[in-house]
């Protein structure tokens, strides 16, 4: 675009009742609309009633025509005229293409202190890009909120719908000390009304601590074995199996605590976090490591054995996740739909966990 300094004076007469004022007038109401830094639009009308008539005017069409005329103007142009004598061209939904009646003033000798000029770079293809249209930068108006979350709770496993302790199995889990921990990034995307979608990824650790501390977990030739010690010189104090996963979560939520602020404007209304929320979804994970730890005393000395292996644990886990909360507190529950161990490589156990979200 050629080097043209603009001061935009809009005097609009697109209806017969609306008249335009010159740059030197001191009558009527004046409205100044600023666009970013150093750019403004000035509207002058005789009174407030005349100003209301501008609601019928398509300002987008005016700006579009101005852009076209500026592209064709040379560097010495001081005045650009877009005519609309009939008053129909710039009315909204108008299809009339007549050219008569609207005057845009460029650089003038006016000493009016209210005017500010903006110099357009002749090498810039589109000077309108300098305008600041970042109206929705506030976090409350963004569709997706992001946060770091930590799941902390306990885990166990179920065999054929029952806890293993009902049958006295050696792999019965001691709930206290069998901690479940997950660390990750969570996104909450507003869909519509109270419906939101929680999605993200995390790293989690299953820790199954056995009730019988004399049981050793080992990888046998064909399956994972749980063997109880029969040695009076060794006294076990801890025996556990740990598996670490990388997971993806997808949980639709009904958030009844988010109430729309009717006084707000913009594509995404503001919400204020106040009440109850609940949702259910799915997750899937890939195993990245697994190991066992056996802590015991032998001849009065504390010893610890830690062995890493796959222990025939399924590489993938998938299941359902339930999440609920009130105000700043959330709880969760996960249940694996597939077995912890590969088919025929260990007991048919489904892992689950529950706890709080920090």
Q: What is the pLDDT of residues 314-348, one digit of tens each?
A: 999 999 999 999 988 999 999 999 999 999 999 99
292 touches 241 (CB < 8 A): yes
Residue 28: C-alpha distances to residues 15, 32, 46, 168 (Å): 17, 13, 4, 92
pLDDT band at 52 (very low <50, low <70, confident <90, very high): confident
- CA separation for the pair 296, 214 (Å, rounded): 8
- CA separation for the pair 105, 20 (Å, rounded): 13
Residue 191 and residue 338 in one domain: yes
| Secondary element (H or E) of residue 71 | helix 59-72
Residue 94: C-alpha distances to residues 14, 91, 183, 313 (Å): 12, 5, 58, 70
Residue 105 and residue 229 in one domain: no
Tally of domains in the chain: 2
Specify if 140 maps to a domain.
no
Q: What is the CA radius of gyration of the chain?
A: 36
Q: Is residue 222 pLDDT above 50, yes or no?
A: yes
- CA separation for the pair 68, 212 (Å, rounded): 83
Residue 187 and residue 325 in one domain: yes
Structural domain boundaries enclosing 305: 146-357
- CA separation for the pair 54, 91 (Å, rounded): 9
- CA separation for the pair 296, 303 (Å, rounded): 5
pLDDT band at 85 (very low <50, low <70, confident <90, very high): low
* Structure token digits, residue 168: 């006295």
Residue 323 and residue 218 in one domain: yes
| CB-based burial label for 107 (10 Å; 0-12, 13-18, 19+) | middle
pTM above 0.75, yes or no: no
Residue 256 and residue 334 in one domain: yes
Residue 351 and residue 255 in one domain: yes
- CA separation for the pair 355, 151 (Å, rounded): 7
252 touches 278 (CB < 8 A): no
């Amino acid at each position: 675009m050629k080097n043209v300094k603009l001061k935009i004076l809009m005097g609009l007469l697109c209806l017969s009742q609306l008249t335009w004022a010159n740059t030197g007038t001191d009558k009527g109401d004046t409205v100044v609309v600023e666009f970013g830094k150093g750019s403004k639009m000035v509207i002058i009308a005789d009174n407030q009633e005349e100003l209301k008539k501008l609601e019928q005017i398509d300002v987008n069409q005016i700006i579009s025509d101005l852009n076209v005329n500026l592209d064709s103007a040379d560097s010495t142009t001081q005045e650009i005229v877009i005519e609309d004598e009939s008053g129909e061209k710039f009315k909204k939904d108008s299809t009339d293409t007549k050219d008569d009646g609207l005057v845009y003033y460029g650089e003038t000798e006016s000493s009016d202190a209210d005017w500010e000029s903006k110099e357009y770079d002749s090498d810039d293809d589109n000077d309108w890009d300098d305008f600041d249209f970042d109206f929705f930068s506030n976090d409350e108006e963004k569709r997706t909120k992001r946060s770091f979350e930590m799941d902390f709770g306990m885990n166990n496993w179920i065999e054929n719908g029952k806890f293993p302790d009902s049958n006295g199995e050696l792999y019965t889990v001691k709930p206290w000390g069998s901690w479940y921990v997950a660390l990750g990034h969570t996104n909450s995307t507003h869909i519509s009304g109270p419906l939101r979608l929680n999605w993200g990824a995390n790293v989690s650790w299953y820790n199954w601590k056995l009730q019988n501390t004399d049981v050793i977990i080992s990888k046998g030739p064909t399956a994972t074995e749980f063997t109880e010690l029969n040695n009076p010189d060794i006294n076990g104090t801890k025996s556990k199996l740990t598996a670490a996963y990388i997971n993806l979560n997808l949980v639709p939520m009904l958030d009844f605590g988010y109430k729309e602020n009717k006084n707000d404007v913009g594509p995404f209304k503001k919400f204020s976090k106040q009440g109850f929320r609940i949702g259910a979804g799915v997750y899937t994970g890939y195993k990245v490591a697994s190991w066992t730890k056996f802590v015991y005393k032998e001849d009065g000395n504390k010893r610890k054995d830690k062995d890493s292996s796959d222990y025939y644990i399924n590489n993938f886990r998938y299941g359902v996740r339930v999440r609920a909360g009130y105000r700043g507190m959330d709880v969760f529950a996960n249940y694996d739909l597939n077995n912890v161990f590969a088919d025929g490589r260990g007991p048919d156990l489904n892992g689950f966990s529950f706890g709080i979200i920090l």
